[in-house]
Amino acid sequence: MTQDTATSGLQRAIESVGGNQSRLARLCGVKPQSVREWIVKGSVPPKRAIQIEKLLGIPRKDLNPEIFGKG
């Protein structure tokens, strides 16, 4: 898996909340700037990846393949 996978997973998360980065930020309890940083970095922090998986059903390995894509 690559950074593209994480970007794709994050894009699906944003789309699932109406295409709004701020809405995803509120859902996760973070500032919108954090979501923008995830996009730039191409990876969601592990804690937030687990949270998004629970809330939206997007697999954590698609949000942070470096940590969860192994094995």
Query: 42-45: which pairs have CB atoms within 8 A and are 24 or more residues apart?
Result: 42/3, 42/4, 42/6, 42/7, 43/3, 43/6, 44/6, 44/9, 44/10
d(CA 36, CA 70): 25
Q: Which pTM value belongs to this model? A: 0.88
Band the pLDDT of 3: cuts 50, 70, 90.
Answer: low
pLDDT of residue 69: 85
**pLDDT tens digit string along 10-45?**
999 999 999 999 999 999 999 999 999 999 998 999
**C-alpha distances out from residue 11 to 5, 20, 43, 71, Å:** 10, 10, 11, 24
Q: Does the pLDDT at position 66 exceed 70?
A: yes
| Structure token pair of residue 31 | 């500032």
Give the three-class secondary structure for 59. Answer: coil
> In order of start, what are the domains of the chain with their CATH numbers?
3-60 (1.10.260.40)
